[in-house]
Amino acid sequence: MILRTVFISAMILVAAGAHAQTGAPGHYQQLCAQCHGSNRLGETGPALIPEALSRLKGAALVKVISEGRVATQMPAFSERLTQDEIAKLADYLTQPLAESPSWTGGDVATSRSLAPGYSPATAPVFKSDPLNLFLVVETGDHHVSVLDGDTFERLDRFATPYAVHGGPKFTPDGRFVFIMSRDGWVQKYDLWSLREVGRVRAGLNSRNIAISRDGKWLAVANYLPNTLTILSTDDLSVSRIFDVADKKGTASRVSAVYQAPTRNSFILALKDVPEIWEISTDPDAKPVYEGLVHSHESGMTEAIPSSQGLFARRRITVSRPIDDFFFDPEYRNLIGTSRDGDRGVVVNLIVGREIAELPLSGMPHLGSGISWIRNGRRVMATPHLKEAKLSIIDVKDWSLVDTVKTDGPGFFLRSHETSNYVWADVFFGPNKDEMHIIDKQTLKIAKTLKPVPGSTAAHVEFDRHGRYALVSIWEDDGALIVYDAATLEEVKRIPMRKPSGKYNVYNKITFSEGTSH
C-alpha cells in the first residue's frame, strides 16, 4: 500500500510537470521526495544528505533502497528500479547539496509539535524505582525500551526519530528525558507517565545534546547549519540560536556540547576553528570580555564586555580545532583531541588556555572516558578508535601512567563507584565479540568475556547500586545481557533489535564517575 501510494503520488507530480529532471535526481523526486523532502532535508522521513548518511554508505545504502526497512514506512524499490538505477540513486544521495541550507528559528518553531492527549502524571504509573530505570536505545528499528533496573521488566517501548545519537539527557530530578536524532529532531518523554510529550527539529544534522544544571535549557550541537540551538525544556520552544563562527567570521560545525555543572555552563567543541566556547546558563553570570576597544575620546584601550548573564558567550583559543572532550570531576580542566591528531591538550577553564600536552595517538575516544581513584590518586582512562589500547592518565600532573593493551580498538568504557573493574569493549576488528574486565588497581585484564561468539559486544552500563552490568549485543537480532557485577556471571538475557547505548537515570543525573557525561 505504501509503495502504491508513493508511486501514484509520483505519477501526479510527473503529469503536473513538477520536475523535468531525469536519472537519479528524477528518481529521487518521483520516489523519495514525498517523505524525504524535495530538497533532501527530510520531512516524515530523515534527511538524505551526506552529513546524515555517515552510517549508511555504499552497499548498505543500496540495500535499503532495494529492500526497504522493516518496521518503517520505507518501501522496497527493487521492482521499480534496476540495480544500476539504484546504485546511481545511492551515489546521488551521497553528493553534497549545491547550497548549504539554512534552518532558522522560525523553521524550528514551525516544526514543534506536542503530543495530543498528553497529561502529566502526578506520580509514576509503575511501582519500580523511578531513579533506577534504564533507557535502552534500539537502533535496529528506532525504538527505546524503558527497563526496571531491579527486575529488568520492560515498562514501555516507544518509537523515536530516525538514528538516535549522542545519548539521552535527563532533567535533574530524573522525571523527563530528551532524545536527539542525527536529523536534528529532539523528543521529550515523560518517564513518570511513560508518554511522549512532544518533539521539535532543532537542526538539520546534529551531533548531541546537553541539559543545563537547573534543567531549564537544552543545547543542541549542529553540523548543519553551523549553529547551537538552545531550547526551553518546558515546552521545546526556541530560546536562542547561536551562529557559530570564530572571531574572523569563519563558520564551524559544532562537534559536541557538554554540561559543566559546577560552572553553570555549556562547553562546545568546534570542529573547524581553533576555539572552545563556553555558554553560561547562569542568569547572574559576570560579564565576559572577548576583546579590546580603543576609545578615541579618552585615548585609552578598554576591555568591553561582549555579553553577560544568561547565555553569555566566552571564547577560549586553542592551538587546533578540538573534536572531543574529557573533563576532570571538578570541571576545572578538560582534555581535548582532534580526530586527525596524535596528541591531547589540557585546557584549564579557569584561566582559559592550554596548560599541558599528552601523547594520545590512535584517535582516543575521550567522550567515553571514565575516572577513578588508583593508589590514592585520581586517574582517567580512554579507549582508542584506531589502536588496541587504553591510555591511563593522572589527572593531577597530566602524566601518562600506563597503557593497557587490548585485543582490538575499543569504543566504550564503563565502571561504577562500587566496582573493582573497568569494562572495556573491543568494538573494532576481529575480536569485536569480546569484553575485557580490567582491575582498576593493577590495570591487568582480570577476565575476558565472550557473550555471543561472532557478535559485537559493546557499551556497558551499571544499575544505580552497581549490582548489575548490562552489555549490548549490537546486532539486529541482538540482546541485552545482564551480568552480576561482582561474580561476572550472566543473570538474564533480553532479546532486542540492535541495542546500542543504555542509560541509567540515577547514574546520569548524579554524574557517576563510572559513566560518560
pLDDT at position 98 is 85
How far apart, in whole angstroms, are the C-alpha atoms of residue 466 and residue 107? Answer: 44
| Residue 429 near residue 468, CB atoms below 8 Å | no
Whether 228 contacts 219, CB under 8 Å: yes
**pLDDT number for residue 291:** 57
pLDDT at residue 372 in the model:
97
- pLDDT tens-digit map of 231-288: 999 999 999 999 999 999 999 989 999 999 999 999 999 999 999 999 999 999 988 8
CA distance 444 to 503: 27
Which pLDDT does position 295 carry in this prediction? 47
In this prediction, residue 242 carries a pLDDT of 96
Q: How far is CA 371 from the centre of its chain?
A: 20
Residue 16 neighbours by CB under 8 Å, 6+ apart: none
Closest CA to 74 of 22, 152, 142: 142
Residue 21 pLDDT: 63
pLDDT at 15: 38
pLDDT value of residue 13: 39
Report DSSP letters for 144-180, one per residue. EEEEETTT--EEEEEE-SSSB-S--EE-TTSSEEEEE
Picking from 220, 176, 216, the residue whose alpha carbon sits closest to that of residue 201 is 220
The predicted pLDDT at position 241 comes to: 97
State pLDDT tens for residues 222-231.
Answer: 999 999 999 9
Measured CA to CA in angstroms, residue 336 lies from 314, 342, 356, 448 at distances of 17, 11, 11, 30
The domains located in the chain, with CATH, are 2-93 (1.10.760.10), 106-273+275-317 (2.140.10.20)
- Residues of the chain with pLDDT below 50 are 1-20, 292-296, 301
List of residues 6+ apart from 387 with CB closer than 8 A? 361, 362, 363, 409
